[in-house]
Structure 1
């Protein structure tokens, strides 16, 4: 299950989600933006960074790591990357915080003794999704995170509940986003089922109306362009024009692929591949 992209989309849609997991969130939590950053010499890519408003300098930067597989050198990597980024941008930030998100305590690396001071401080926050409580009692966006950890036997029931709840609590455009995220989570969770089979299991059929698709495609395209600009810099006009022609499915595929891009050449190569495999009309 490709949870990295799911959590990336969750944080992009609702940056405030990270702070709902913390006991003492910053007072300007609603003004933070979620981003990925590059640190050169040596080269690090940090995908989960929450940046304070640029007009509030110095601010507090939050590093976030979502870890669903055991990694016995996770803290070594996270602290090395975070400290280096903080060092390179010291004039912008007054402090840093790190949030580690695990499905359960058993996924955390075993050897934590060298980091005992940090892990027991108020700068590093460890969140275990299976300990957050009843999924139906959690804020909507937190509940979506927890849905990724729910056992397959229980997942369809909880997914249907979240869809019904979203239709009551959220405006139409947000409701569409939540339904799509629920669908994405369930498709990844039940990899042996097709999207239509998952829709049938949940008792829904997404309305592929012009309005729905325009909202979905425009939101996806805007998100992709922001991610590409932050990762690769200014995107040449011919590439922008080509991206404007991509279908919703192709945009979603680009959203997955760009996490591995390191240069405009990677983007150009990906776009050329799309042209090659797109059937002629």
Structure 2
């Protein structure tokens, strides 16, 4: 999964985190919907857009970009997309732009034509490696920091976030969503991690409640069943009997048998 996809998934699920990152209250996110929009006739797609509800005309539209690589033409494209959107979608709301950089050295700087925009209150630049105390005080901001944490420090931070989520979030559904989000980020950072390693990192009692863990368990059980197919067939059972006994489809049994034959 691409890094920017993780951020957009995070903002989609918990819009309050974005507003925590830019120094506003969590409740501000309740009046916004995070979405993406196509800018017609330009081949531009704005992936990060916080649109206020129709009855919140006093709240600004937020254009959000996540940058994890250096792009010398970034600001030309960013401002171009913003003004094309404003010209095509007539809304009464004011607007703000937020750029989230992995680190300050990825900020290419702006050309003179756009200098006034960057020095105005309209544009906010966030450098994830400089979050500082905000990340220590806020669970949401800490989850954002986990995305850019080093692989050496990420496991410990993930454990801390898991404990914090368990202690601070009373709503079971929200708590489960946060835990799964933390797990998704860890899997992104460690794509080769096994289920056993995930258990060791997160603690079995919490991990076993998450969707990702349960999917892994189901995948492991299915693999074991498929591996058992050739042995049952060798005992003289029919395809139908094996399928019924193992809870598989007839097609799954046949494919498992063919795979064994081709080995």
User: Which TM-score tier does this pair reach, normalised by the shorter chain?
Assistant: 0.7 to 0.9
Following superposition, the deviation at residue 134 of structure 1 comes to: 4.5
Aligned length, in residue pairs: 217
Q: Pick 1 or 2: higher relative contact order, CA cutoff 8 A, min separation 6.
A: 1
Q: Distance in 1 between matches of 2:250 and 2:54?
A: 45
Q: Which residue of 2 aligns with 1:127?
A: 126
Q: Tell me: CA distance 1:96–1:136, structure 2 relative to 1, closer, same or farther (3 Å).
A: closer
Q: Tell me: CA distance 1:28–1:2, structure 2 relative to 1, closer, same or farther (3 Å).
A: closer
Unaligned runs of at least 5 residues, structure 1: 218-247, 250-277
Q: Distance in 1 between matches of 2:175 and 2:12?
A: 15
Q: Which residue of 1 aligns with 2:140?
A: 141
Q: What is the DSSP-based 3-state SS (H/G/I as helix, E as strand, rest coil) of the residue aligned with 2:140?
A: helix
Q: Distance in 2 between matches of 1:96 and 1:159?
A: 34
Q: Does 2:32 correspond to 1:32?
A: yes
Q: Which residue of 1 aligns with 2:12?
A: 12
Within 5 Å, which residues of 2 pair with 1:60-79? 60-79=60-79
Q: Which residue of 2 aligns with 1:256?
A: none
Following superposition, the deviation at residue 169 of structure 1 comes to: 0.6
Q: Which residue of 1 aligns with 2:155?
A: 156
RMSD (Å), alpha carbons: 2.9
Does structure 1 retain, via aligned residues, the 8 Å contact 2:75–2:110? no
Higher helix share: 2
Q: Tell me: CA distance 1:157–1:134, structure 2 relative to 1, closer, same or farther (3 Å).
A: farther
Following superposition, the deviation at residue 138 of structure 1 comes to: 3.0
Does structure 2 retain, via aligned residues, the 8 Å contact 1:163–1:179? yes
Q: Which residue of 1 aligns with 2:207?
A: 206
Within 5 Å, which residues of 2 pair with 1:237-248? none
Q: Residues 193-218 of structure 1: CA distance to partner in whole angstroms, max 9, x if unpaired?
A: 2344233233336225xxx65xx99x
Following superposition, the deviation at residue 11 of structure 1 comes to: 0.6
Q: Does 2:41 correspond to 1:41?
A: yes
Q: Which residue of 2 aligns with 1:228?
A: none
Query: Normalized against structure 2, the TM-score is what?
Result: 0.73
Q: Distance in 2 between matches of 1:164 and 1:182?
A: 11
Moved more, 16-25 or 61-70: 16-25
Moved more, 27-36 or 184-193: 27-36
Work out which of the two has the higher radius of gyration on C-alpha atoms and give 1 or 2: 2
Q: Residues 145-168 of structure 1: CA distance to partner in whole angstroms, max 9, x if unpaired?
A: 111111111111110000011111
Q: Distance in 1 between matches of 2:134 and 2:149?
A: 9
Q: What is the DSSP-based 3-state SS (H/G/I as helix, E as strand, rest coil) of the residue aligned with 1:38?
A: strand
Q: Tell me: CA distance 1:61–1:279, structure 2 relative to 1, closer, same or farther (3 Å).
A: farther
Q: Which residue of 1 aligns with 2:242?
A: none
